[in-house]
A and B are shown apart, each in its own frame.
Chain A
Amino acid sequence: MPSFSLVTPTTVEAAIAELRTGAPGEVAVLAGGTDLVFDLDRAGPNLRRVLSLRCLPWRTLDWNGPVLTVGSTLPLRSLEEDPDVARRHPGLFQAIRAVGGVPLRHRATLGGNLGRAAPASDLLPVLLVLDAEVDVVGPSGSRSVSVDQFLLGSRRTTLARGELIRSVRFPEPRPSAYLWQRVRPANDISQVAVAAAFSPSDRHWRLAVGGIPPRAVRLPEAERALSSPDPTREELGSAAEHATHHLSIAADRRASEEYRRHLVGVLLERAVRSASARSLEAGRLDP
């Protein structure tokens, strides 16, 4: 277990400056700590400083009309407990509930999860189908990028040196669902997961699969097979087939390739049906 000093800047500028000093691998960013502290050895032998974000003003949750902006260091539990989140982004709510247990969610954060980009993250597939945007701050100012472009691979993102995730933005509420296959229902890592969301504004489906290394991915061919908020059985079957056919799947100790492929199809159909039911239920969504 490495020893390091803990730096807790009180301004964003100071945090960015701290990140830019020192050699590569010297600094690690601490949000809730449930990934970093869990796996400190992975932080590498050069670790000297841990940069705590706890004093930065990012423990926020704001609705601006349909747009939800979540500060990157807001504990997941706070997001989960917000009744508007559960109502307007039911898939996100389901995904958050899938992460660890309650005490863990009191510290785990969206920003931490996104920055970590773990292949089996439960949140990332849902961020993809909600077209979430990542707001990044760094030495050259702020930028926003879609989560899809933000994620490069297993534990790799486009965060450059000196950059931090400030917030995650969800452009519009969407009927959505997140379903997973795991060994046991609570406190587990998903072998395969599927997120589905229907956009009321452009009337298209978004589908993403998670749990499969290296990262959560969208399923464009499958999405194209669905033409309405209430897809037919044939369309669902076709979408499932597209998804399983085009997906590159690795086996690992959690599941074989064939089983994962099979599960993608099954979960996809179920997730779409679930999201579709929510869409019909919701009728006209709040602006």
Chain B
Amino acid sequence: MTNRPLSLTVNGKVRPLDGVPESERLLDTIRWRLGLRGTKEGCRSGECGACTVLVDGVSTLSCLTLSHEVDGSSLTTIEGMADDPVGHEVEEAFARAGALQCGYCTPGFVIALVGLLNERGRSASVDELLADLGGNLCRCTGYLSIARAVALLQKEGR
């Protein structure tokens, strides 16, 4: 096994890393080497969506991504959302709609939603957005408050 340097731009800052094993997953690089633990480890098998990040603006399951596969990319995590205009709006909508309880799935949902808005445009319909959030699981809220947050977001965003 080889350990190699890895270079990622993380939330706008270049973060070069040394000695990253080629078998390492992006989730672990983010959480333990970059120290950004807002991205959560849930099932570690691509089914819960808690580990969702943006790679070059595109939503990606970091638990199933090898870090070196995205060498040179621009990575956005939940920590970068407060400074992102769309991310900030999403967070506000979630807070106002009370769309979280334990909060563990929340970063994944925020990122997935920002990713969808990047893809579909800021004025995507609520139904389209909800239809595309099926890859994120929540066990606390029953999803309805999350749906309300999306509705609030799109109502205010016009």
- Do the two chains touch directly in the complex (Cβ atoms below 8 Å apart)? yes
Q: Which of B2, B45, B115 contacts A103 (CB 8 A)?
A: B115
User: Cβ of A107 and Cβ of B61 under 8 Å apart?
Assistant: yes
Tell me the smallest distance from the CB of A54 to a CB of chain B, in Å: 6
Q: How many Å from the CB of A40 to the closest CB on chain B?
A: 8
Return chain B residues, CB-CB under 8 Å to A107: 60-61, 64-65
Do A101 and B22 form a contact, CB below 8 Å, given A33-B66, A106-B58?
no
Would you give the shortest CB distance from A120 to chain B, in whole angstroms?
14
B84 on interface, CB distance cutoff 8 Å: no
Stretch from A3-11, A83-91, A271-279 forming part of the interface with B: A3-11
Q: Report which of B2, B52, B60, B135 forms a contact with A5, defined as CB distance below 8 A.
A: B2
Most-contacted residue by chain A among B47, B49, B66 (CB, 10 A): B66
**Which residues on A sit within 8 Å (CB–CB) of B133?**
101-102
Q: Which residue of B lies closest to A100 (CB)?
A: B135
Interfacial chain B residues near A185, Cβ < 8 Å: 134
The answer, among A6, A54, A81, A101, for a CB contact under 8 Å with B23, is A6
How many residues does chain A have at the interface if contact means C-beta atoms less than 8 Å apart? Answer: 26
CB pair A102–B64 under 8 Å, yes or no, is no
Q: Contacts of B52 on A, CB cut-off 8 Å?
A: 103
Q: Provide the B38-63 mask, 1 if CB < 8 A to any CB of A, else 0.
A: 00000001110100100000111101
Residues of chain A with a CB closer than 8 A to B150's CB: none
Contact B116 A102 (CB under 8 A): yes
Q: Which of A2, A6, A104, A106 contacts B66 (CB 8 A)?
A: A6
User: B132 contacts the other chain (Cβ, under 8 Å)?
Assistant: yes
**Cβ B115 vs Cβ A5 within 8 A:** no
Tell whether, in the assembled complex, residue A104 and residue B1 are in contact, meaning their CB atoms are under 8 Å apart.
no
Residues on A with C-beta less than 8 A from B22 are 3-6, 50
Contact digits for B105-134, partner A, Cβ 8 Å, 1 yes 0 no: 000000010011001000000000000111
Given contacts A52-B69, A106-B59, A107-B60, whether A186 and B135 have CB atoms under 8 Å apart is: yes
A3 adjacent to B25 (CB under 8 Å): no
Chain B residues, Cβ within 8 Å of A5? 1-2, 22
Q: Is B46 a contact partner of A34 (Cβ separation < 8 A)?
A: yes
- Residue pair B2, A102 in contact (C-beta under 8 Å): no
Q: Which of B115, B119, B134, B136 has the most CB of A within 10 A?
A: B134
Contacts of B45 in A (CB 8 A): 38
Cβ contact within 8 Å between A100 and B46: yes
What's the least CB distance linking B116 to chain A, in Å?
7
Residue A14, interface by CB 8 Å: no
In the bound complex, do residue B65 and residue A37 qualify as a contact, i.e. CB atoms below 8 Å apart?
yes
> What A residues does B136 contact at CB under 8 A?
101
User: Which residue from chain A places its CB closest to the CB of B53 in the assembled complex?
Assistant: A103
A30 to B22: give the CA distance in the assembly, Å.
13
Binding site for A on B (CB under 8 A): 1-2, 21-23, 25, 45-47, 49, 52, 58-61, 63-66, 68-69, 112, 115-116, 119, 132-136
Besides A81-B119, A104-B135, A106-B59, 20 new A-B residue pairs in contact (Cβ under 8 A), listed by A number: A3-B1, A4-B23, A5-B1, A6-B23, A33-B66, A34-B46, A37-B25, A37-B63, A37-B64, A38-B64, A50-B22, A101-B133, A101-B134, A101-B135, A102-B132, A102-B134, A102-B135, A103-B52, A104-B64, A187-B134
Q: Chain A residues in contact with chain B, CB under 8 A?
A: 1-6, 8, 30, 33-34, 37-38, 50, 52, 54, 81, 100-104, 106-107, 185-187
